[in-house]
Structure 1
Amino acid sequence: MSATMGGRLAATLGAAAVVLMTIGVPTATADGGQSAVTDPKAVPSPGSLATGGSTDACDDTTAPGWITTGEPTLTARTTAPGARFKVWNAAGDKVFDHTAQTAADGTVQVRPTGLAEGAGYSWQVWPDYGPGGGKPTAACHFGIDATAPQFTVESTDFPASGSGATPLKYAGQTGTFTLKGTDQGSGVACYQYVLNGTMSVGSPCQGAGTVAAGADGTATLRLRPTQWGTNVLTVQAVDKAGNTTPPVSYTFFAPSNPNPPVAPGDVNGDGVPDILLPDAAGNLQIISADATTTAPTSTVAAVRAPGGAGWNGVQLLHRGWDRAHAPVDDLIAHQPGGANLSLYRNFDMGGFARGVISFGRDVNPFDPPVLPEGFNADWSKATQLVPLGALGADQRTSILTVEDGNLWLFTDPAPLYDYNTFVRLSTSGAWAGYDLVAPGKAADGSLALWSRNRATGELRTYPIAKRADGTYDFAALADPAAGTVIGTFPVAEYPTLGSSGDGDGDGKPDLYAVTADRHLLTFSGVTDPKDLGVLR
């Protein structure tokens, strides 16, 4: 190749690109008639994970790809009885020159051996004694990188176990992990990682648990260990040629927070209420109520839902916790028509992976109480359930249900949420046409219920006053039409309404909505909507 051609390629690839063509490589074409050799290809095909494509770069402008072996197979098609293959290195030195016979199907191939790792290999093929005046193929190009990168993992927030350094963060808090890699060939493309789990099998540098490396081979992870004690971050590096390191384990200790934040509605321990919504695949997304996008902070797999078939259609409640763990919400789930509720105690900051407990209604068959008229023996007729939060000294939530069109209140849960106090709050049956929303307590301790009239879209509020003796007055809930209208949210436009409490930190509960096209909106109170984007 001429010096002018080499300079033109360098300008095309840019200063940041690895120039695989340099001096001494033959020109891409030769004078004369049509070539009797076509379709030159290297096997494996040269590619780059940085671009996601592969190319033989048989021109003077395309950035060449990489292969992971020093013994590639070079192929072509020819009408001649044979073909001559030549290979040059980056310095322009010929490192391979061999003639091979053409197969019956018109293909011809050779396999150079002992090619050293590095950029800048170029090759061409000439017909051997064939027609066409001996014109070669265009010059094709590749680099060789057969060695995986090297890398380290560092964190001052969660230092490696045995380092002697003290963690700066607690379990439930987000820490920074720095990945520093070097690669002598193609360069580091990405890192794949998993916290306290097994590395997934799939395409390199794609999917969840992947972070792209910068030009210097460095990447930063912001991870939130949810379990206190020993944690293991597993990482592997992948270079642009596709070489992957074995998984490396980074073990660290996350201490328990002696002063955890307390925010009813919070499931992951960051002190901010969370919105729990299923994705299209049935996984449960945990989205912070103060988020700016719909990207979840974590997800709970579909198989953990009651029945194992996903969280879509399951009624979810969270607004309280038991004292056996940090002050983060437990999760209660109900499959419509199911006789029992499913309790997921939150020992792992929103992972809900410590098992599930099924419970019914606590009616002692040996000493039955005097049951209110219309009382149902199980939860099967509860068409709606919403959590009011803790109404007494205990931090477990009380629950409002709609059954046969009437409101029922369940309070004073036993240690594993068996509710042994219940009362009917309405008798008209009119609540069947309303969607309930429990906004939780405001900063001043006031409590209310919101409801949406499904026929008109009107959203009403009903005060639940606290009496001098510490109990609550639910008289305002006798008639759904008696509430004060605070907005209009037609069902056709907003199929889902909910509230996880105070998401914007102003001391007042906030509404969220999912639109008909699956956009998640968050509000300040019930106004000033913010579109976080489309849910997954």
Structure 2
Amino acid sequence: MKHVHLRRFGGVAAATVAAGLLATPTVAVADAGPAVLGTSQGVDAQHLGACGPAGDPAWIGRSVNGPALNVKVAGTGARFGVWDVTTGAEDPVFTGEAQANGAPQAGLTVPGLLDGHSYAWHAWALQGAQVSAPSADCHFTVDTTSPTATVSSTDFPASGTAPKFAGQVGTFVVRTTDPVPAGGESSGIACIRYGWGNLGVGGCDSPDAVVPEDDGTATVSLRVLNWGTNTLNVQVIDDAGNVGGAGYTFYAPSNPNPPKAPGDVDGDGVPDVLLPDAAGNLQIISSGSGDTTPSAVIRAVQSPNQTSWSNVQVAHRGWDANMHAPMDDLLMHPSGSPALYFYSNQDYASFTGYPSAISRPSACQNAAGTAAACPAGFATDWHKADQIALIGSLDSRMVSSLMTVEDGNLWLFANPGFSYRLRTARQLTTDGAWAGYDLVAPGPDAAGNLALWARDRATGELHAYPIAKKADGTFDFSALADPKAGVVASGFTVDKYPTLGSSGDVDGDGKPDLWAVTADRHLVYYSGWSDPSGAGALK
């Protein structure tokens, strides 16, 4: 057999084959090569092993053994040649052979390639001593240098006194660079990922990713949830898949005069709407923002069943002042569950732990608030609670009282202690007429009077029941005796509006307001229960 020489003519590869060769293997065809193994984090698929044309080579990032070249081949193996396009040298910088091992594919890795240089490669199929014509050229450029980033903020500087407080939104400027190697090219910044805590694995299609401006700068606005020392983590990904990062540590002081607004969960002084997204996470949406972008999200894994918030009733209206700043705590009841859960809002909607269960009172009262024997069938747990609503505080504290619908009757669970340890169960109705009603808790009005709203699921009528504060400081619940009374609006059918709620006084007129979610998942706000205005589609 004569020796086979590799040479290039005008950038086209050729092979000299033994004289008299009649049958050659199938021409080797480039198979998604070159491919980089083990550096797939965050890189678009076209950058991982694409066979780029001469004018638009694929970017290949840093790998342990160098880029991996793969070809489909009908034969026993393949021979590879790699040329440095940047230097224009005629001789290959790498040659090698790989066995097919019974598969229609052969591949190898190429060490020692230079950062920033562009390369071309092709392959020949082997069948014993026979060699095919060459495959078409593949082109790639190597970028093995990680990008860098720095972060700054005038709202929350790394040193000195911050002009803003924990719970407020701060602006953070991320400046990135993708170092250019001497005599070569860099791939450029693909995106920036950012967030509090461990960012984990993710790419440029992640919800926490942003594409920087042409100068490599991105400005992001984030609510600082924790009082004290915070760290904003930044991850920079270049077009070759290399990853760099930075951590920005700063101190967020607590607000000495925090806003107090029942219905507010994230501490900005504006009541919030809490709704699950399509992935089962719980969104905290500021009712004053004008759109449906959440200010914070409680992950699905932090729900009572650690799976999803979708089938969990969530109520909020008040806080336990013994535990934290004035922001609503959450009460949660998974549908049909024997457990009712409490989630303490320790720090500006920074719900990082897991909810705790609330015990159920064993002593009962009648509608007048006098001690009475519990009715037959009174449950020792919460599985009969078809509806829950936190109506607001019944005393000078901000710990809210709970209303439920059980066996068609309305119950008031009051006298809450530390961590919403409810002590009394007061049966407000006994005729079972409340079956089929959705409870809505609008919270107190400007005069301190409470109310309960309810939607008749059969008719779509909205009812409002006043709970007036009497001269002695107690409240009059007599309007709740007949759920059919107090019709204030119609047309709120279940088909049109599967979900209704209230965040309290959103428009600042001293009266609570209704919100609704349409069948196609759009959020609609009302002034009271009229004059609807759309906020947009929910995630």
Q: Provide TM-score, normalisation by structure 2.
A: 0.79
Q: What residue in structure 1 maps to residue 458 of structure 2?
A: 455
Q: What residue in structure 2 maps to residue 191 of structure 1?
A: 192
Which whole-Å CA distance do the structure 2 matches of 1:335 and 1:126 have between them?
A: 64
- Which secondary structure state, in structure 2, belongs to the residue aligned with residue 480 of structure 1? coil
Q: What residue in structure 1 maps to residue 518 of structure 2?
A: 515
Structure 2 contact 60–67 (Cα < 8 Å) conserved: no
Give the drift of 1:127.
9.0
Q: Which amino acid aligns with 1:66?
A: I
Q: What residue in structure 2 maps to residue 177 of structure 1?
A: 172
Please say if 1:236 is aligned against 2:244. no
Q: What residue in structure 1 maps to residue 113 of structure 2?
A: 115
Please say if 1:53 is aligned against 2:51. no
1:533–1:130 Cα change, 3 Å: farther
Structure 2 contact 43–204 (Cα < 8 Å) conserved: no
Structure 1 contact 360–378 (Cα < 8 Å) conserved: no
- Which secondary structure state, in structure 2, belongs to the residue aligned with residue 481 of structure 1? coil
Give the drift of 1:291.
4.1
1:52–1:515 Cα change, 3 Å: same
Which stretch shifts more, 307-316 or 165-174?
Answer: 307-316
Q: How does 1:12-91 map to 2 (within 5 A)?
A: 26=10, 37-40=27-30, 42-44=33-35, 52-54=45-47, 56-59=50-53, 62=56, 64-68=58-62, 71-74=66-69, 76=71, 77=73, 85=81, 87-90=83-86
Please say if 1:493 is aligned against 2:496. yes
Q: Which amino acid aligns with 2:35?
A: P
Q: How does 1:131-170 map to 2 (within 5 A)?
A: 137-160=135-158, 163=159, 165-170=160-165
- Which secondary structure state, in structure 1, belongs to the residue aligned with residue 352 of structure 2? coil
Which whole-Å CA distance do the structure 2 matches of 1:81 and 1:480 have between them?
A: 81
RMSD: 3.8
1:401–1:94 Cα change, 3 Å: same
Which whole-Å CA distance do the structure 2 matches of 1:84 and 1:401 have between them?
A: 74
> Could you give the per-residue CA deviations for residues 129-173 of structure 1, whole angstroms, max 9, x where no partner exists?
9899x7x6544321110111122122222222xx3x211211111
Which whole-Å CA distance do the structure 2 matches of 1:303 and 1:97 have between them?
A: 52
Which whole-Å CA distance do the structure 2 matches of 1:254 and 1:406 have between them?
A: 47
Q: How does 1:194-343 map to 2 (within 5 A)?
A: 194-195=195-196, 197-200=197-200, 202-245=201-244, 248-324=246-322, 325-338=324-337, 341-343=340-342
Which whole-Å CA distance do the structure 1 matches of 2:291 and 2:235 have between them?
A: 28
Please say if 1:479 is aligned against 2:482. yes
1:348–1:125 Cα change, 3 Å: same
Q: What residue in structure 2 maps to residue 12 of structure 1?
A: none
1:82–1:496 Cα change, 3 Å: closer
Structure 2 contact 34–138 (Cα < 8 Å) conserved: no
- Which secondary structure state, in structure 2, belongs to the residue aligned with residue 416 of structure 1? helix
Structure 2 contact 280–309 (Cα < 8 Å) conserved: yes
Which whole-Å CA distance do the structure 2 matches of 1:102 and 1:38 have between them?
A: 13
Structure 1 contact 204–242 (Cα < 8 Å) conserved: no
- Which secondary structure state, in structure 2, belongs to the residue aligned with residue 270 of structure 1? coil
Please say if 1:442 is aligned against 2:445. yes
Which whole-Å CA distance do the structure 2 matches of 1:464 and 1:81 have between them?
A: 84
1:440–1:103 Cα change, 3 Å: closer
1:102–1:166 Cα change, 3 Å: closer
1:39–1:258 Cα change, 3 Å: same
Q: Which runs of 5+ in 1 are unaligned?
A: 1-23
Give the drift of 1:66.
2.9
Give the drift of 1:446.
4.6
1:251–1:36 Cα change, 3 Å: same
1:276–1:87 Cα change, 3 Å: same
Give the drift of 1:424.
3.6
Q: Which amino acid aligns with 1:447?
A: L
- Which secondary structure state, in structure 2, belongs to the residue aligned with residue 432 of structure 1? coil
Which whole-Å CA distance do the structure 2 matches of 1:282 and 1:107 have between them?
A: 43
1:93–1:345 Cα change, 3 Å: same
- Which secondary structure state, in structure 2, belongs to the residue aligned with residue 476 of structure 1? helix
1:301–1:203 Cα change, 3 Å: closer
Which whole-Å CA distance do the structure 2 matches of 1:71 and 1:306 have between them?
A: 47
> Could you give the per-residue CA deviations for residues 150-206 of structure 1, whole angstroms, max 9, x where no partner exists?
22122222222xx3x2112111111122221211211222233331x3332x34334
1:63–1:529 Cα change, 3 Å: farther
> Could you give the per-residue CA deviations for residues 252-290 of structure 1, whole angstroms, max 9, x where no partner exists?
211110111111111110112112223344432222223
Q: Which amino acid aligns with 1:187?
A: G
Give the drift of 1:432.
1.4
Which whole-Å CA distance do the structure 2 matches of 1:379 and 1:437 have between them?
A: 22
Which stretch shifts more, 491-500 or 89-98?
Answer: 89-98
Q: Which amino acid aligns with 1:305?
A: S
Give the drift of 1:320.
0.6
Which whole-Å CA distance do the structure 2 matches of 1:122 and 1:171 have between them?
A: 54
Q: Which runs of 5+ in 2 are unaligned?
A: 1-7, 15-23, 180-185
Which whole-Å CA distance do the structure 2 matches of 1:111 and 1:407 have between them?
A: 72
1:271–1:107 Cα change, 3 Å: closer
- What is the count of residue pairs matched by the alignment? 500
Which whole-Å CA distance do the structure 1 matches of 2:400 and 2:500 have between them?
A: 20
> Could you give the per-residue CA deviations for residues 193-241 of structure 1, whole angstroms, max 9, x where no partner exists?
331x3332x3433434333333322223322222211122233322211
Q: Provide TM-score, normalisation by structure 1.
A: 0.80
- Residue of structure 2 aligned with 1:411, choices 385, 409, 414: 414
Which whole-Å CA distance do the structure 2 matches of 1:392 and 1:445 have between them?
A: 10
